[in-house]
Amino acid sequence: GESVGLHLPTLSVQEGDNSIINCAYSNSASDYFIWYKQESGKGPQFIIDIRSNMDKRQGQRVTVLLNKTVKHLSLQIAATQPGDSAVYFCAEGGTSYGKLTFGQGTILTVHP
């Protein structure tokens, strides 16, 4: 069946370091991928997305990489800050009416 999963459940980094969060997906028909950030007690917050016809997309301090050959998605956060501490979810979509399939989540902890 369809699934989106993460390799690492937790990631701890020092402030100022770069962070990389990984995600594997299994539905090759998905054509839209999103990274969400979820802070404690809040709903998922959109970070960045990428379509399947791209392999890289950059935002402010964040970059998403998509490798369709191995069905792998990653989120790179540059100069990680304590405010980046949260749970990060990847999600895939585009195969049906707006349905997003979320991965398990990675807890990112940034130490000052």
Partner 1 sequence: EPEVTQTPSHQVTQMGQEVILRCVPISNHLYFYWYRQILGQKVEFLVSFYNNEISEKSEIFDDQFSVERPDGSNFTLKIRSTKLEDSAMYFCASSLDWTPYEQYFGPGTRLTVT
Using alpha carbons, select from 91, 86, 37 the residue that is nearest to residue 59. 37
Is residue 57 within the footprint of partner 1 (CB under 8 A)? Answer: no
Q: Which residues pair with 66 in a beta bridge?
A: 73
Is residue 35 within the footprint of partner 1 (CB under 8 A)? Answer: no
User: Binding partner 1 by CB under 8 A: which of 103, 106, 108, 110?
Assistant: 103
Is residue 27 within the footprint of partner 1 (CB under 8 A)? Answer: no
Using alpha carbons, select from 38, 28, 69, 67 the residue that is nearest to residue 50. 67
User: Binding partner 1 by CB under 8 A: which of 41, 60, 83, 112?
Assistant: 41
Residues that bind partner 1 (CB under 8 A): 32, 34, 36, 41-46, 49, 51, 89, 91, 93-94, 96-105
